[in-house]
Amino acid sequence: MVDTNDRWIVERTGIRERHIAGPEMATSDMAIAAARCALSLRGIEASEINAIIVCTVTPDMIFPSTACLVQNGLGVRNAWGFDLVAACSSFIYGLTTAAHLVAAGTHRKVLVIGADTMSRIIDYTDRATCILFGDAAGAMVLEAAGENENAGFIDFLGEIDGSGGDYLKMPAGGSRLPASHETVDQRLHYVHQEGQQVFKYAVRKMYETCAELLGRNGLSAADVGMLIPHQANARIINACAERLGIPPERVLINIDRYGNTTSATIPLATRDAIGQGRLRQGDLVMFAAVGAGYTVGASLWRWAY
């Protein structure tokens, strides 16, 4: 479709395969399926959920929110919710928001979903972006740890930098450039990215954010049981881990199987870490991401599952 080949893609991104949603499947459909999996694994009913946070840049439509569609699809009653838009950092922001809702004592169970159908906003004539993205959804349920559990949310560090907004964006479809014949003809409803700018910023900020988060909590790389980063590019992940001093066996990389699924990468990677026996009860886990905006975030947790 474009002037590239498998070797070029693998060497520069680490991606070997991706999954693309069928034309009948929207973001809310994947989100509902992921939510049902999470609820089933936890053994709780949808009726127990107090809030739903859907992290996505590809909602079914501008409004109503995807959270409303998910709530109705799951049959959740007496819950509230909203969509959270922070691109590739969305799921970390959603987890942090949910953790504070639970810690405040106002919510018992919060459902956080990362879901994106990126194939719908990718220009398959643009080599810089069309090789990167896939479709997926993942979900987690947050609730208070037991009194005797050495587990839970520890800390979060986030940052936004709007000066980088032009380097990764979908230009049209909002109030500044509403849909028109001209915006469609100019292919402005697709993702546009300046790869080198994004790459350099992501490598630097992911490392700096993780290092500062560990430092202010009196922790070092040796304390981290598992680093689960956003899966944008294997070279970004490896560079960050190497600078932090975290060995490969304690870094989860699964971009080779899914590509960049935006807000879904971290829940997908967490599921794989659990399934591979690499994330266990009591481990210190660090999530980290850099996304369009720019958005930056990292959080520390003592894992309970």
Which one is the CATH code of 6-143: 3.40.50.300, 3.40.47.10, 3.20.20.140, 3.10.270.10?
A: 3.40.47.10
Instruction: Show the CA angle centred on residue 55, arms to residues 65 and 165, nearest 5°.
Output: 100
User: What does pTM read for this prediction?
Assistant: 0.96
Q: Where in the chain is the domain with CATH 3.40.47.10?
A: 6-143, 152-302
Residue 19 has pLDDT above 90, yes or no: yes
Residue 305 has pLDDT above 80, yes or no: no
Q: Let me know how long the chain is.
A: 305
Q: What is the mean pLDDT of residues 112-116?
A: 98
Dist. CA 97–CA 217, nearest whole Å: 20
The pLDDT tens digits of the residues spanning 70-102 come to: 999 999 999 999 999 999 999 999 999 999 999
Q: Which two tokens stand for residue 123?
A: 């220009």
Return the structure tokens found at 303. 């894992």
Rounded Cα distance between 285 and 183, Å, is 43
The per-residue b/e assignment along 216-244, b for 16 or more CB within 10 angstroms, e otherwise, is eeebebeebbbbbbbbbbbebbbbbbebb
198-227 mean pLDDT: 97
Residue from 203, 230, 208 nearest 132 by CA? 230
Q: Which pLDDT value is given to residue 184?
A: 97
Residues acting as catalytic residues: 88, 230, 260
Give the model's pLDDT for residue 151. 84
| Position with higher pLDDT, 13 vs 66 | 66
pLDDT number for residue 165: 95
What confidence tens digit (pLDDT) does each residue in 128-141 have? 899 999 999 999 99
Instruction: Mention every residue, 6+ apart, whose C-beta is less than 8 A from residue 97.
Output: 53, 84
- The CA-atom distances, in angstroms, between 159 and each of 6, 207, 226, 297 are 35, 13, 22, 6
Q: What percent of the chain has pLDDT over 70?
A: 100
CATH class, 152-302 region: alpha beta
pLDDT at 8: 85
Contact status, residue 14 vs residue 239, Cβ threshold 8 Å? no
Q: pLDDT confidence of 46, banded at 50, 70, 90?
A: very high
